[in-house]
Amino acid sequence: MKISARNVLEGKIIAIKKGATTAHVSLDVNGTTVMAAITNEAVDELKLEVGMKAAAVVKSSDVMIAVDE
Amino acid sequence: MKISARNVLEGKIIAIKKGATTAHVSLDVNGTTVMAAITNEAVDELKLEVGMKAAAVVKSSDVMIAVDE
Amino acid sequence: MKISARNVLEGKIIAIKKGATTAHVSLDVNGTTVMAAITNEAVDELKLEVGMKAAAVVKSSDVMIAVDE
Amino acid sequence: MKISARNVLEGKIIAIKKGATTAHVSLDVNGTTVMAAITNEAVDELKLEVGMKAAAVVKSSDVMIAVDE
Amino acid sequence: MKISARNVLEGKIIAIKKGATTAHVSLDVNGTTVMAAITNEAVDELKLEVGMKAAAVVKSSDVMIAVDE
Amino acid sequence: MKISARNVLEGKIIAIKKGATTAHVSLDVNGTTVMAAITNEAVDELKLEVGMKAAAVVKSSDVMIAVDE
């Protein structure tokens, strides 16, 4: 599958915290931590585990820009 | 201002392409390109220019996880 | 690639309208039209064309529920 | 109320799973399952129940396109 | 139609700027300006015009919180 | 930090409800309640408390427009 989302940041899973319905999955991407809030179902279906290679995928329209004042 | 968004990826602006209402701003973040689709107004108000330091800000609920099949 | 997004609706591209930076791509999914607003770059990179099979992908946290009053 | 969101997919609720704050509501839309992650409060206020008719509403800017490689 | 989105901010349209595919619609909500980026098609279908009453609708998962440092 | 998001609605926190991973934070903005679904981590890091001044921040592409039928 190829996807239209412009941002695919490759990294490694460093933490998974499942909640009641929503899980937080943290990746190390070149030394920066990226956190995703996804469904518990997705964690199970993709068999996500700490140490696995994975990518953070973000649609451009969900990215904001910030600058120092 | 401090924001609740968990992902603040610091980088440098490498390209700005304004459309009729929507602009595409690309950052280099540790060698990876991150693209943001924001309003032309925001580009003007923040005085964004190629070469400036800037950060890509993404809410965790807008991050997906992908793995190789 | 397998993605955490829970909604992958398979269909066929019935219209593509490129703007200055943002394109609208419409799919027929079992007789229902689904519209995506994506970047022109994504349209080019994925070589999207009317008549192609494609899927609309949506993260669960971007889906709302509506009921009749 | 009429809304600007381009995608209103009519179906029937087939599952509701409430978490601590976030609920997952699944609809059957013409044989395809569509999952929404919404607040528990919304489930209560809209009195959502399995078997009810409901629609999945998605803004076009939250829809991505995927194609087979 | 009743929708699960928790935030429905009632106001009046004060500006509409159509781009090639994306339009910016600004509302006055109790003296604060709220801007929406929606499709040109939605502007046409809802017959939006400056001076009309309208509401800005936002899903809770798309709202961030910021505090002064 | 200055951010590209066009909507920064200043108000006061009136309720915080933490779930297992996701928290709901409600602000009073000029008499209107605005609800945000953010991570528990963000609530802790920003030291959010009922009674604090805070702003709801929303990207324009996450705002829809609704009108009465």
CA distances (Å), origin B68, targets A46, A48, B19, D58, F12: 10, 11, 34, 27, 44
Q: Residues of A numbered 37-66 whose beta carbons fall under 8 angstroms of chain B's beta carbons: which are they?
A: 37-38, 42, 46, 48, 52-66
Smallest Cα distance from E30 to chain B, Å: 22
- The DSSP element (H or E) to which B11 belongs, if any, is strand B7-18
Q: How large is the average pLDDT for residues C36-53?
A: 98
Q: Residue C68 has what DSSP assignment?
A: -
With respect to residue D64, please indicate whether it lies within any of the assigned structural domains: no
CA distances (Å), origin E20, targets B19, B56, C18: 8, 25, 8
* Residues A16/A50, Cβ–Cβ less than 8 Å: yes
With respect to residue F25, please indicate whether it lies within any of the assigned structural domains: yes
| E19 touching C (Cβ < 8 Å) | yes
Q: What is the mean pLDDT of chain E?
A: 97
Give the pLDDT means over successive 10-residue stretches in chain F (69 positions): 97 98 97 97 98 98 96
- Residues of D within 8 A of A1 (CB-CB) are 66-69
Cβ of A1 within 8 Å of Cβ of D67? The answer is yes
Find the DSSP H helices in chain B. Answer: 40-45
pLDDT at position C16 is 98
Q: How large is the average pLDDT for residues B47-68?
A: 98
Residue D69 pLDDT > 90, yes or no?
A: no
pLDDT at position B61 is 98
- The DSSP element (H or E) to which A33 belongs, if any, is strand A32-39
- Residues of F within 8 A of D2 (CB-CB) are 66-69
pLDDT at position D45 is 98
With respect to residue B45, please indicate whether it lies within any of the assigned structural domains: yes
With respect to residue E12, please indicate whether it lies within any of the assigned structural domains: yes
With respect to residue A66, please indicate whether it lies within any of the assigned structural domains: no
| Beta-strand relationship, D64-67 and A2-3 | antiparallel
Subunits in contact with chain A (3 or more CB pairs closer than 8 Å): B, C, D, F
With respect to residue C54, please indicate whether it lies within any of the assigned structural domains: yes
Residue B33: give its domain's CATH number: 2.40.50.100
Residue C54 belongs to domain spanning? 7-58
ipTM: 0.98
* Beta carbons within 8 Å of B47's beta carbon, 6+ residues apart: none
Span A1-46, pLDDT tens digits: 999 999 999 999 999 999 999 999 999 999 999 999 999 999 999 9
Cα angle, residue D36 at apex, residues D50 and C3 outer, rounded to 5°: 130
With respect to residue A11, please indicate whether it lies within any of the assigned structural domains: yes
Q: What is the mean pLDDT of chain D?
A: 97
pLDDT at position F69 is 82
Subunits in contact with chain F (3 or more CB pairs closer than 8 Å): A, B, D, E
Residue C69 pLDDT > 90, yes or no?
A: no
**Into how many domains does chain E fold?**
1
Q: How large is the average pLDDT for residues A49-63?
A: 98
Span C19-39, pLDDT tens digits: 999 999 999 999 999 999 999
With respect to residue B66, please indicate whether it lies within any of the assigned structural domains: no
